[in-house]
Structure formats: structure tokens, C-alpha cells
Amino acid sequence: MIDFLQLIVSGTATGACYALAALGFTLLWQASGTINFALGEMVMLPAFIMLFFIGPAGLPLPLAFAATLLVSLFVLGLGFKRLVVDPMLKHGVIPLVIATLGLSIAMKQGVRIAFSAQVFTFPAVFSQELLTIGGARLSVSDLGTVVVAGGLVIALQAFLNRTLTGRAMQAVAQNRDAATVLGINVQRMVLYAFLINAALAATTALLVTPVYLAKFDMGDTLGLKAFYAAIIGGFNQSRGALLGGILVGVLENLVGAYLSPGYKDGVALVLFLAVILFKPEGLLGKPEERKV
Amino acid sequence: MIRLWQAGLLLLAVVTIYLLPGTLKNYGIYIVTLWAVYVIAGMGLNLTVGYAGQISLGQAAFWGIGAYTTAIALKAGLPFLAALPLSAALCFAVGLLLGFPALRVQHHYLAFATLGFNVLVFLAFRNEDWLTGGTFGINNIPRPILFGWRLRAPLDFFHLTWIATVVMGALMALLLRSPWGRAFAALRDNPIRAESVGIDTTFYTLLAFAIGAAYAGIAGAFFAPLVGFIEPAPFAVTTSLSMLLMVIAGGSGRLFGPAIGAVVVVLLPEWLRFAAEWYLAIFGVLIVVMMVWLPGGLLSIPERLRAARILK
């Protein structure tokens, strides 16, 4: 029972990180119809940028994070939108999917050349202590991750629902033409979505890398899990990502511990397939209408 | 309609490719055979992506199912000519089973479902030791025996694979010229209009997807005896992605697209060995640049040039 509680907490922590990445994915999809397959690499790249700022540049972690955030906003937000997505939107979804694949190869291999294929350790964000609560030993870092990631998701949710800008972004996601008629600056709202995605990716890197360590191909699994999380929770609902992420994180922990480590990734996958087949709009999503 | 000089050119290309590897060493022949295998799988994917307009990210799973089926069948002593249709039929059936629910919902959901399917199949290959040998895979897969003659020499096996590629290509061309093929194109260009003129869109999309899967199965049936040893790694999602890349890079919805695309994906890495570790990074950047400037793929270059000349 105590093991069970520990598994749930650490699963929730991992899941919260998946949720952050998944949230960026759904935001991009809603704002611009971009299916971003470079999702995992967009977390991997900030991790290495941060390592650069900490190592050769010698900055303390908070400053390194701030600098990384700036670089991410500029490169993964603005640059990604202007150089890759904008010129391709008119050609439809498929070329863009391929382009993000190309981008993920380029980022992965670029980092491998710059930093080698080694595994790098990453400074811890939270203290490494274990708290004992009612017999269960819970790590501070797991709890901290849940609080930070969960807090961010909830804050973003509030931003999207309560502020004028957030509601304008939702309007753009629902109907571009109507939003334009209402005088919303559509391009600006789309840019916000890209910037938020970049910020979320940098934050995910900060939370995930101390546990999973930095490696040039760390984005592979992470991207896939975030992708499951986005679909399970609901492609067109931001809060779905949180539910999806935590479900995936907790399930893989429980299955790995109790059923079979080999199929650790399998159960989230089965849930993912079941959602696609029986409730394609996701657990919390609304059905999409067909456009003619 | 095909003009005479085009037919002549095609024949010349087919014969040249048949003869060319005779001048190569064993490794070169292996690479060219691998290229032919990819072309078969790519043709199937092209039907799904280029003609039926659905994104599939699971072609490598079908490729793997075909390869494992053939490997197990050959090890069990079945003749190659029985293992080949078995692989194709199994992939066709699995394609129907997967496609039927996934295609009830439109566009990008097939992409997600196939991606999940690919990961699941990969896990099964890795974990079901009793059937697939797990991470150790299946080794010593025999080369096929045709009419009492074992195709042990790499060149002989290449010739067999190349003949199969040409036959599969011809079948694909016939399919696309048939009323069925027209229905596939109608489906991609405007699914709702296609439905309104009486095309059962779900049926045709499903069929295109399942036939595409069967092509991958056939490609797998040639892959297993080619390498002689199969393990789960080549059938991961990354291969599906590079197969999709191959179709788009060549020019999706064009019969010869996969053949050109497979050059980019299979042969180019070999030629660029001199660039060593830089190769893949450059490759990734090239893909992005190409999608920005040439979303129609390499085979759209002549049209682009013609259009540019008219504009002048």
C-alpha cells in the first residue's frame, strides 16, 4: 500500500512534466493546426542550452534558466513560427509534419555533434531529501515537480479563460475568420501560442532533466509520451493535457511495478488507442466538427 | 497516356538497374537491394498518403509483420512462395482491422492510431520471446529457394527483389488507372464531393490503407531473407517516419515518387559517409528547407520550372 502511494506520487510527477509538453502541443495545434513532431527535441534543446549556460558560461542555475528561457522564446517560439511554420501553412498539414520531423532530426544530431552522445548530469532543482509521511517516503523533488507543473497548467488555464488576450486566443483557435472579423489580431495570438509553447518546453526541460539526465535523444520517449497525453486528455482542450499526462505517468509506473516492465509503455499506449478509436475527441475534449 | 519515348525510357531504367549491381561489390548489392525493398514499402504508403490522402505513421509495423511472418515461415520450412502471400495477406487483414475503427473519424486520427499501433507492434516484437526471439531476434533466415534453386548469391537475390519491385509497380499503375484508382484520387482531392457523387469514402480509404499495408508486408518478406537476421529495432516508429519522408520527398501521389524518395533515404546516407557525423544534421535541415521550398517533392521540379517559364 505504501509502495503504491509512492508509485502514484512519482508517477504524477513524471506525468505533470508530460502534461507541460503536451499542453504546448495542443496550444500549437489549436492556434495554427501544427502537428509538432519535434515536441521532444524542443525540450531536449533547452536542457542543453541550460547546461551550456551553467558549464562553460558559469552562470548559477536560476540565471541560466532565465537565459535559456529567453533563447527558447526567440528560437523555438519566434524562429520556429517565422521560418518553418508560416511559409508552410498554405501547403497543408503533411509538409508541415515532415518539416517538424526534419527539424527534430536536425536538432538531435546538431546537439550530438556539439555535446557528443554522452549522458550529462543536470543540477537538481529541488532538494534531494525524502519526506516520510504516514510511513510513505516521498521525495521532495517529486512533490515540487507536481506543484510547479500543476501550478503552471492551472495558471495557463486561468490565463486562457479569464483574460482578454487568453479569450482572444481561444477565439482564434475556434474560428479564425470570425476572430478576424471581431478585430482580433490573429497573427499576434498565434505568435503568443508559439511563445507559450517555447516557455513550457524550457520549463519542462528544467523539471525533467535532473531526473532523466540530458542526452541528445532524450526527446524521443518524452515527445511520444507527451503526444499520448495530449490525445488521451483531449486534443482541443488545454486541461485535458494535465489529465492525460498524469494518467500516462501513473499508469506506466504501476504497470512497470506490478505487471510487466517490458510492457511499461504498453498500457498508456492501449489507453491511447482506445481513446482514438472510441472517443477520438479525448477524455475531456469536445467533438470536432467537419469542415467542408 | 504514356508516350512511346517515356515507355522506352522506363524500360531502359528497369534494365539498367537490373544490370548495374553486377559491377558492385557485395555491400553495394546489399544497399541497392535494400533500396528496392524500400521502394515496395514506399509504393504502398504512397497509395495511402498520396492517393487516399491519409497520413500513416505505421508502415514500418506492417513491414515488420511481413518480415517476421516470412522469417518464421521460412524457419518452419515453408517455401518462400507460400510465405510471401502469407505476409501480404496478414498485413492486409491487420490493416483492415486497424483502419476500420480509425477511419470512422477523419483526417489526422489515422496518423495517431497508426503511430500508436507501430509502438505497440514494436513492443510485441521485443517482448514476445516465444514467437519473435525478443531482443535477440531471429537469425539464420534462409535465402529463398525458387524452382529448386537457392538464391544464395547476393546478385541473384537482388534480381529476384528487383523483378518483384517492377511487378508491384506495374500492379500499382494498373490499380491507379482502374476506376478504383480514380476513386482514390477523388477521395484525396475532395472527400465530401466524392461522397456526394456516390463514392463510399470509408470503404475506399480503408481499401487503400489495407493495400498499402499489404505492400509493406511484401517488402518485409524480401527484407527478412535479405538481411538473414531480424530484430525489433528496424521496425520502430523512426522507420515509419523515414518511409513517410521518403514518399513526400520523392513526390507523394506520383507513381515514381517512392523510387526517387528511397534514393534520398537509403542511398544518400551511404554516399554522404564522407560528411561523417554531420550527415544526419545536414539531412534534417535539408528536409525542412525542401518542405519550405518544394512541398510537392523532387518530382514536382519539372512542373515548377514549366510554371516559372510560363510566368515569364
Q: Residue B94 — pLDDT band, cuts 50, 70, 90?
A: very high
Please state, rounded to an integer, the average pLDDT across all residues of chain A.
86
Tens digit of pLDDT for each residue in A178-218? 888 988 888 899 999 999 999 999 999 999 998 888 998 88
- Extract the runs of DSSP E, i.e. beta strands, from B195-291: none
Flag whether pLDDT at A26 surpasses 80. yes
Contact residues, chain B to chain A, C-beta under 8 Å? 49, 55, 101-102, 105-109, 111-113, 115-117, 119-120, 123, 126-127, 192, 237, 241, 244-245, 248-249, 252, 277-278, 280-281, 283-288, 290-292, 295
**Cβ distance B118 to B63 under 8 Å?**
no
Tens digit of pLDDT for each residue in A249-277? 999 888 888 887 777 777 778 888 888 87
Q: Does a structural domain hold residue B80?
A: yes
User: Which cell numbers hold the place of A40?
Assistant: 521532444
**Cβ distance A284 to A237 under 8 Å?**
yes
User: Which cell numbers hold the place of B145?
Assistant: 529457394
Q: Residue A41 — pLDDT band, cuts 50, 70, 90?
A: very high
Kindly report the CA angle at A209 between A206 and A214, in degrees rounded to 5? 125
Interface test with A, best of B264, B288, B293, B298 (most A CBs within 10 A): B288
Please tell me the distance from the alpha carbon of residue A192 to that of residue A196, in angstroms, as a whole number.
6
The string of DSSP codes covering A248-275 is HHHHHHHHHHHT-GGGTTHHHHHHHHHH
* pTM for the full predicted model: 0.84
Inspect the interface and report whether the beta carbons of B244 and A98 lie closer than 8 Å: yes
Inspect the interface and report whether the beta carbons of A277 and B252 lie closer than 8 Å: no
Helix (H) / strand (E) element for B158: namely: helix B154-177
B244 contact residues in A (CB cutoff 8 A) = 97-98, 101
Inspect the interface and report whether the beta carbons of B55 and A97 lie closer than 8 Å: yes
**Cβ distance B292 to A88 under 8 Å?**
yes
pLDDT at A281: 78
Domain of B50 in residue numbering reads as 27-236
Closest residue by Cα to residue B71 from B229, B260, B293 = B229
Please identify which residue in the block is written with the cell numbers 558549464: A55
Contact residues, chain A to chain B, C-beta under 8 Å? 35, 37, 83-84, 87-88, 91, 93-99, 101-110, 112-113, 224, 227-228, 231, 260, 262-263, 265-266, 269-270, 272-273, 276-278, 280, 290, 292
**Cβ distance A64 to A80 under 8 Å?**
no
pLDDT at B227: 92
The whole-number average pLDDT for the span A138-161 is 87
Q: Does a structural domain hold residue B128?
A: yes
Please identify which residue in the block is written with the cell numbers 538497374: B17
- Extract the runs of DSSP E, i.e. beta strands, from chain A: 130-133, 136-139
Please tell me the distance from the alpha carbon of residue A274 to that of residue B24, in angstroms, as a whole number.
49
**Cβ distance B240 to B60 under 8 Å?**
yes
The whole-number average pLDDT for the span A227-247 is 84
Please tell me the distance from the alpha carbon of residue B102 to that of residue A278, in angstroms, as a whole number.
9
Please tell me the distance from the alpha carbon of residue A89 to that of residue B229, in angstroms, as a whole number.
43
Q: Does a structural domain hold residue B110?
A: yes
Flag whether pLDDT at B2 surpasses 70. no
Q: Residue A291 — pLDDT band, cuts 50, 70, 90?
A: very low
Contacts of B172 (CB under 8 A, 6+ apart): B43, B47, B215, B255
Which chain A residue lies closest to B98 (C-alpha atoms)? Answer: A277
Contacts of B8 (CB under 8 A, 6+ apart): none
- Give the 3-state secondary structure of residue A136: strand
Q: Does a structural domain hold residue B255?
A: no
Which chain B residue lies closest to A104 (C-alpha atoms)? Answer: B284
Flag whether pLDDT at A292 surpasses 60. no
Give the lowest-confidence range in A17-21, A212-216, B240-244, B287-291.
Answer: B287-291
**Chain mean position to CA B154:** 21
pLDDT at B205: 85
Q: Does a structural domain hold residue B36?
A: yes
Q: Does a structural domain hold residue B244?
A: no
Flag whether pLDDT at B20 surpasses 60. yes
Helix (H) / strand (E) element for A101: namely: helix A93-115
B295 contact residues in A (CB cutoff 8 A) = 88, 91, 95
User: Which cell numbers hold the place of A230?
Assistant: 495530449
pLDDT at B69: 96
Q: How far is A134 from chain B (nearest CA, A)?
A: 37
B109 contact residues in A (CB cutoff 8 A) = 276, 280
Tens digit of pLDDT for each residue in A94-137? 788 888 888 888 898 899 889 888 899 888 888 777 877 776 77
Closest residue by Cα to residue B169 from B94, B95, B219 = B219
**Angle of the B108-127 helix axis to the A266-278 helix axis, nearest 10:** 150
Q: Residue B105 — pLDDT band, cuts 50, 70, 90?
A: low
Kindly report the CA angle at A35 between B241 and A263, in degrees rounded to 5? 60
Question: Please, is A43 exposed, middle or buried when counting C-beta atoms within 10 Å of its C-beta (0-12, 13-18, 19+)?
Answer: buried
Q: How far is B286 from chain A (nearest CA, A)?
A: 8
The single-letter DSSP state of residue B276 is T
Tens digit of pLDDT for each residue in B139-183? 888 888 777 677 778 888 899 999 999 999 999 999 988 888 888
**Cβ distance A24 to A42 under 8 Å?**
yes
Flag whether pLDDT at B119 surpasses 50. yes
CB contacts < 8 A (A, B): 122
Please tell me the distance from the alpha carbon of residue B166 to that of residue B156, in angstroms, as a whole number.
16
User: Which member of A37, A109, A266 has the closest CB to residue B281?
Assistant: A109
pLDDT at B37: 96
Q: Does a structural domain hold residue B297?
A: no
Tell me the HSE value of A172 on the side-chain side, using a 13 A CA sphere. Answer: 26
Flag whether pLDDT at A87 surpasses 80. yes
Flag whether pLDDT at B288 surpasses 50. yes
Flag whether pLDDT at B14 surpasses 80. yes
Q: Residue B188 — pLDDT band, cuts 50, 70, 90?
A: confident
The whole-number average pLDDT for the span B240-244 is 88
Q: How far is B114 from chain A (nearest CA, A)?
A: 9
User: Which member of A99, A262, A278 has the closest CB to residue B127?
Assistant: A262
pLDDT at A287: 67
Q: Return the bridge partners of A138, or none.
A: A131
A98 contact residues in B (CB cutoff 8 A) = 244-245, 248-249, 287, 291
Flag whether pLDDT at B107 surpasses 70. no
Flag whether pLDDT at B245 surpasses 60. yes
Flag whether pLDDT at B8 surpasses 60. yes
Amino acid B166 reads V
Query: What percentage of chain B exceeds 70 in pLDDT?
Result: 96
User: What are the angstrom distances between the C-alpha of B16 and each of A128, A151, B31, B270?
Assistant: 66, 64, 16, 20
Domains delineated in chain A: 2-278 (1.10.3470)
Q: Does a structural domain hold residue B269?
A: no
User: Which cell numbers hold the place of B75?
Assistant: 524457419
Please state, rounded to an integer, the average pLDDT across all residues of chain B.
86
Count: domains in chain B: 1
Please tell me the distance from the alpha carbon of residue A233 to that of residue A252, in angstroms, as a whole number.
16
User: What are the angstrom distances between the C-alpha of A130 and each of A124, A277, B64?
Assistant: 14, 41, 45
Closest residue by Cα to residue B51 from B185, B193, B234, B242 = B185
ipTM: 0.78
Inspect the interface and report whether the beta carbons of B284 and A106 lie closer than 8 Å: yes
Inspect the interface and report whether the beta carbons of B123 and A110 lie closer than 8 Å: no
